[in-house]
Amino acid sequence: MSEPQLTYAQLLETNNLIQQNADETYWLCATRTVQESKIFPVSAYILFSYLNCWYRYPELLRKIERHMSAEEIGDRARNQGIKIVAWCLPCFYLLGREMLINWGVITPSDGVKDLIYTLDFWKRFQLSWHRNNGNLINRQAGHRAQVLPEQRL
């Protein structure tokens, strides 16, 4: 059986998710005053974590999803009032991809099915986690998030 072809709509949505993450990352970097640690060599270990995410996230997320959907994880995270996936999942993965593209190791079309799947998993988690405000990311609500329902707050 052949694999289903990627659709133009999937590519457009994935490009939009990449751009939203880029916009949020830019804002986070521009508004932070400290982006280093005196205890840990942030640059070295963070760069390796980006590569680790690029190579491992798609398969790890597929294994997770065989047991629990992204939406169910988002519901559970919201009900517990915790933040576990919001920025790091897509951005570490995308930064690993960007590093490898810049080094000439991969091309933008390499791993596109994994890219689409990973960002779709993140999107479904986010929409479930942000169910109370209907946003995908905090930037869409002026960098505010109402994760818990008003009654619980």
Q: Domain segments of the chain: what residues?
A: 8-32+42-141
pLDDT for 32 equals 73
In angstroms, the CA 56 to CA 92 distance is: 11
Res 12 pLDDT > 90: yes
In angstroms, the CA 74 to CA 86 distance is: 10
For residue 87, the one-letter residue type is W
* Cα distance from N-terminal residue to C-terminal residue, the chain: 50
Each residue's pLDDT tens digit, 76-113:
888 877 766 678 889 999 999 999 999 999 999 999 99
Burial 115-153 (b: 16+ CB within 10 A, else e): bbbbbbbbbbbbebbbbeeebbbbeeeeeebebeeeeee
CB 57 within 8 A of CB 93: yes
Q: What are phi and psi of 7, to 5 degrees?
A: -100, 160
pTM for this model (two decimals) = 0.85
The pLDDT > 90 percentage for the chain reads 51
